[in-house]
A and B are shown apart, each in its own frame.
Chain A
Amino acid sequence: MKGNKIRKILVVILAVLMLVSSAAGCSQKAGSGAKEKVLAIGYDQDSDIMDTMKTAWYSDALIYIHDRLVTRDYEFGYQPGLAQQWDVSDDGKTWIFHLRKDVKFHDGKEFTAEDVKWTIDTIKDPDTASPFSGDLDAIKEVNIVDKHTVEMVLNYPFPNLLYNLSATASGIHPANAYEKYGDDYGRKVVIGTGPYKLEEWIPGDKTVLVKNNDYNWGPDWMSNKGPALIDKIVLKIIPDENSRLMELEVGGIHILRNVPESSVEKLDNNPDITVHKRPATKLGYLAYATDKEPFTDVRVRRAINHALNREEIIQFVLRGIGEVAYGYLPPALKDEYLQESKDLAYEYNPEKARQLLAEAGYPDGLELTLSADNSSKSSKLAEIIQNQLKAVNINAKIQLYDSAGYADMLREGKQELFIREYSWSNADIIDWFLLSSRFPYPNHSRWVDDKSDELITYAAQRPTWDERAEAYKDVQRYLIEQAVWAPVYIPMHMIAVRKEVKNFKFHPWMLQYSDGFDLEVE
């Protein structure tokens, strides 16, 4: 009887042990599956098509799917990418690119000069209607010298080609991708040579990238030149700002780009999250239609500049997170930015503003409209500017537009005073917005001025980068003197990162997830 009982107990114990061990085995299995490192990033909206050549609104996924001939390091310097090296002729009009020989596309095809030629020719082909084609205007033709050498012949010297070739839109596609993949290209298939491959794209929902195990051609400035450490990247679309922040807090996403100023304090107090802040390559400014009365008078333009209390604006609109702007370029563009912008520009001085207006023949002030897009940031900005202008006797009526309507209104030239923020990491933004050949679009401030044209064209066509940078400083000096815009603020580029993300490195332009970023998984 007793022995029987003991036996029963033994059986039970054994059974429990077996269960436990099998459960442990299970969890081990589950554990090895869960070890896949999946990094999730939150975005507010998706792109419409996964093709750098067909839209200006491309998905960040394309940064990691494609490689470019030229890369930019953490200091914003130009470095070799798919091109190992390049030589520029003395007149600056012939560029020879020596390509890497060890690179393969995601579909196994070898990367050659033919792919470079096809990509650039396709962008420039009017039938593609690529929004990027204008950026490659300088290129006259692309010639294949041999399998791994490409020659680009330019219409005029153009050192900024480096910038344009390092842009996301210059990602190299395999030759004849459109013929080979048809309508699927840019939807279900995108082929590049980058550290990540497209696994799945559900428009409006998410993009899943999986790492390219063959990748070992990372640029020299990266610490990791081989395959990425993170297995998958999920770009998740979460349209509502509050939902994005909640997902970050609970760990549903690891990285949030473009953190709103209003949430910084809360996120800073969260021990699981670090908010990285750097001055952005953006500029917020107040502009005016310079071809219309009263803005044709430089005294009025200067008066408006004197009327703005920029510190107060940054406190009110950006909660103090941002920097005062006096120049026409973001200071983050170290080479080109005119350091003495602040000393040359117009300090806050309402008394002087009123005096200038009186001199210009408006002693009783002005009645104007102030246009802005209807985002909460812009409407707040419009309100405070309206207030500050009122103090110098300029009564501005605020007019708000949705973003598509705003662009249209500017193109039609209905604006008087208007608010803009540009986001661009190159001095050629000045060409875009202020050359007379860009009138009326995108030259919204309707600035048609021979001296500007001369200075800008001279700068853009210097044969070397350093000469170009110096020449752009003269452009800025002149623009400040003419008070073409009233620059207001430089916002902060803010990226919130959860503690699970290891080896995070802030890249001024685009995060380089393949450069040793790692993810801690439970």
Chain B
Amino acid sequence: MLKYIAKRIILMIPVLILMTLIVFAIFYFAPGDPVSRIAGPNVTQEVYESIQRKYGLDQPFIVQYHRFIRSVAEGDLGISILQHRPVIEMIKERLPVTLQIGLLGFVITFVIAVPAGVIAAVKKNTAFDYLCMSGTLLGIAIPTFWLGMLLLYVFAYKLRWFPISGDGSLRQLILPGFAIGLTNAAITARMVRSSMLDVLKQDYVRTARSKGLYEKAVVYRHALKNALIPIITLMGLRLGWILGGSVALEIIFSIPGLGRLMVDSILSRDFPVVQGAMMVLTSSIILANVLADILYAVVDPRIKYG
């Protein structure tokens, strides 16, 4: 098991290198560079070039890429061209709030989705099931940012229960957390329901019932445990969605998180920052998938990693 985890983590390295190479190439060859932002619209060509030289942006691709890789190896992920400080420091400032929103969204997702999915499966073809399923259809159709705007309008602007723009308090996390949670709960609930329905058809469930077990014990002790296995995979995959979804939400709710750092840096072409943020995102998605694989083995003794 440990060997397996070590292998997965070592495999991250080529993925990350490939990712940085792609991002770097996009920024190198795409039009625009950070100097336009530093310089503003009215500078002479000489000043423009002197700024370019100062930040080493006049150097060939391979030199610039090498410099970036070296700074990654040194652990500071490079220096922001616009902010003149280590990227790692900027990420440390921005990451916690994004993780908090993501975590809250994650919790809300499963608190809503698991019971809703299970009950809908157990009470298949009843009014509750139909209500749940049409609700989830709506949830899938609504984009996260739109739900975020709606929540902001109703609960912050009209009812004034929450701050409109981030104020640094924990209260600021609730609306974006719900925006993520509700939209993700929709798709998760459908998965739980269908997986539960599959399990409920299995022989061992029939055996459990014929043994005379209470329906509750059948559903929660025997069926749910097995139905959750595909859900764990889904959890790992959804993490990427959740982090990605928070980009738009951080803009709508004025929360200075990692997503906004990334968008701002893309627009101003501050590529060391984009690289750093991408590395954090990529690694966390890979790690979440590794974690899901490990959980697999924990939940299902049949799965073993050699």
Residues of A in contact with B (beta carbons under 8 Å apart): 45, 48-49, 54-57, 126-127, 129-131, 133-134, 183, 186-187, 202-205, 236-240, 242-244, 246-247, 249-250, 252, 401-409, 412, 422, 424, 429, 432, 437-438, 440-442
Report Cα–Cα, A54/B164, bound state, in Å.
33
Point out which of A246, A406, A409 has the most chain B C-beta atoms below 10 A from its C-beta. Answer: A246
B265: nearest chain-A partner, CB-CB? A48
B39 close to A204 (CB less than 8 A): no
Interchain Cβ contacts under 8 Å between A and B, 20 examples: A48-B270, A56-B41, A56-B42, A56-B43, A57-B37, A129-B47, A130-B47, A131-B39, A134-B47, A187-B83, A204-B256, A204-B261, A238-B164, A239-B254, A239-B260, A246-B153, A247-B164, A403-B267, A408-B31, A440-B45
C-alpha spacing A204/B259, complex, angstroms: 12
Q: Report the 9 A-B pairs with minimum CB-CB distance, sorted nearest first.
A: A56-B40, A404-B32, A48-B82, A204-B256, A408-B31, A129-B54, A405-B31, A205-B256, A407-B36
Cβ B51 vs Cβ A131 within 8 A: yes
Known contacts A205-B166, A401-B31, A405-B30; A442/B42 CB under 8 A: yes
Known: A402-B267, A405-B32, A438-B45. A54 touches B84 (CB 8 A): yes
Residue of B nearest to A130 (CB): B47
User: Are B50 and A129 touching (Cβ within 8 A)?
Assistant: yes
* CB-CB under 8 A for A240 and B47, given A246-B157, A405-B31: no
B165 close to A236 (CB less than 8 A): yes
In the assembly, what is the distance between CA of A246 and CA of B154, in Å? 11
A55 surroundings in chain B (CB, below 8 A): 37-38, 40, 82
Chain B residues near A57: list those with CB within 8 A.
37-38, 40
> A175 vs B37: C-alpha distance in the bound complex, in angstroms?
27
Please tell me if the beta carbons of A186 and B84 are within 8 angstroms of each other in the complex.
Answer: yes
- A129-B47, A131-B40, A202-B256 known, 14 other contacts, Cβ within 8 Å: A48-B82, A48-B270, A54-B84, A57-B37, A129-B51, A202-B93, A204-B260, A204-B264, A238-B165, A242-B149, A252-B163, A403-B32, A405-B32, A408-B33
Let me know if B40 and A126 touch, CB within 8 A: no
Determine if A239 and B251 form an interchain contact, defined as CB atoms under 8 angstroms apart.
yes
Known: A55-B38, A247-B164, A405-B32. A131 touches B269 (CB 8 A): no
Chain A residue numbers with a CB within 8 Å of B164 are 238, 243, 246-247, 250, 252
Alpha-carbon distance A297/B206, docked complex (angstroms): 88
Determine the chain B residues whose CB is within 8 A of the CB of A186 once the complex forms: 84
Chain B residues within 8 Å of A412, by CB: 31
Of residues 242 through 261 on chain B, the ones whose CB sits less than 8 Å from some CB of chain A are: 251-254, 256, 260-261
A56 & B38 in contact (Cβ 8 Å cutoff): yes
Complex-state Cα separation, A429 to B40, whole angstroms: 13
Residue-wise interface mask of B (40-64) relative to A, using a CB-CB cutoff of 8 A (1 in contact, 0 not)? 1111111110110111000000000
Question: Are A237 and B31 closer than 8 Å at their CB atoms?
Answer: no
Instruction: Please report the number of residue pairs spanning A and B whose Cβ atoms sit closer than 8 angstroms.
Output: 145
Q: How far is the CA of A363 from the CA of B253 in the complex (A)?
A: 55
Chain B neighbourhood of A187, CB < 8 A: 83-85
Report B90-133 residues with CB < 8 Å from chain A CB: 90, 93-94
B152 at the interface (CB under 8 A from A): yes
Chain B residues positioned under 8 Å from A401 (CB to CB): 31
A129-B50, A204-B260 known; A424-B42 Cβ under 8 A: yes
- Alpha-carbon gap, A1 to B37, bound state (A): 86
Residues from chain B with Cβ under 8 Å of A242 in the complex: 149
**Pairwise interchain contact B45-A441, C-beta atoms closer than 8 A:** yes
Is there contact, CB below 8 Å, between B85 and A183? Answer: yes
Q: From A439, which residue of chain B is reached at the shortest CB distance?
A: B45
CB-defined contacts of B40 to chain A, threshold 8 Å: 55-57, 131
Shortest Cβ distance from residue A194 to the other chain B in the assembled complex, whole angstroms: 22
Closest chain B CB from A412 CB (angstroms): 8
B8 on interface, CB distance cutoff 8 Å: no
Which one of B40, B46, B260, B270 has the greatest number of beta carbons of chain A within 10 Å? B40
A244 to B166, CA, bound (A): 12
B282 lies within 8 A of chain A by Cβ: no
Residues of A within 8 A of B166 (CB): 205
Chain B min CB distance to A511 (Å): 21
Chain A nearest CB from B238 CB (Å) reads 25
Closest to B90 in A: A203
Shortest distance in angstroms between B184's beta carbon and chain A's nearest beta carbon? Answer: 22
Q: Which residues of A contact B85 (CB under 8 A)?
A: 183, 187
CB distance from A19 to the nearest CB of B (A): 29
B225 adjacent to chain A (CB < 8 Å): no
- What is the CA–CA distance of A412 and B54 in the complex, to the nearest angstrom? 21
Bound Cα distance from A405 to B31, whole angstroms: 5
Q: Cα distance A442–B47 when bound, in Å?
A: 11
Residue of A nearest to B51 (CB): A129
A404–B37 CB distance below 8 A = yes
B47 is contacted by which of A133, A202, A238 (Cβ under 8 Å)? A133
Shortest Cβ distance from residue B288 to the other chain A in the assembled complex, whole angstroms: 26
Q: Are B83 and A49 in contact (CB under 8 A)?
A: yes
Give the distance in Å from the alpha carbon of A56 to the alpha carbon of B41 in the complex. Answer: 8
- For the complex, is B268 an interface residue (Cβ under 8 Å from A)? yes
Whether B160 is near chain A, meaning CB under 8 Å from some CB there, is yes
A252 to B152, CA, bound (A): 14
Residue in B closest to A239 when the chains form the complex, CB atoms: B251
Name the B residues within 8 Å of A48 (CB-CB): 37-38, 80, 82-83, 268, 270
Q: Could you say which of B46, B53, B93, B264 has the most chain A C-beta atoms within 10 Å of its C-beta? A: B264
Q: Residues of A contacting B48 with CB < 8 Å?
A: 441
CB-CB < 8 A to A408: which residues of B? 31-33, 36
Q: How far is the CB of A327 from chain B (nearest CB, A)?
A: 19
Instruction: Give chain A residues whose Cβ lies under 8 Å from the Cβ of B261.
Output: 204
A437 to B46: give the CA distance in the assembly, Å: 11
- In the bound assembly, the distance between CA atoms of A241 and B55 in angstroms comes to 33
Shortest CB–CB separation between residue A422 and chain B, in angstroms? 7
**Cα of A48 to Cα of B79 in the assembled complex, Å:** 13
- Quick one: which of A131, A183, A239, A409 contacts B31, CB cutoff 8 A? A409
* CB atoms of B165 and A252 under 8 A apart: yes
Given contacts A131-B39, A409-B31, A438-B44, contact A183 B152 (CB under 8 A): no
Query: Closest approach, in angstroms, between the C-beta of B255 and any C-beta of chain A?
Result: 8
| Most B C-beta atoms less than 10 A away, residue of A57, A236, A239, A246 | A239
Please measure, in the bound complex, the distance between the C-alpha atom of A402 and the C-alpha atom of B83, giving whole angstroms. Answer: 21
Tell me the bound Cα distance from A134 to B42 in angstroms: 9
The reply to whether B260 and A407 contact each other, CB–CB distance below 8 Å, is no
Complex formed: what's the CA distance from A347 to B90 in Å?
Answer: 53
Closest CB-CB distance, B169 to chain A, in whole Å?
A: 13
B19 interface hit (Cβ, 8 Å): no
Q: Which of B14-37 contact A (CB under 8 A)?
A: 30-34, 36-37
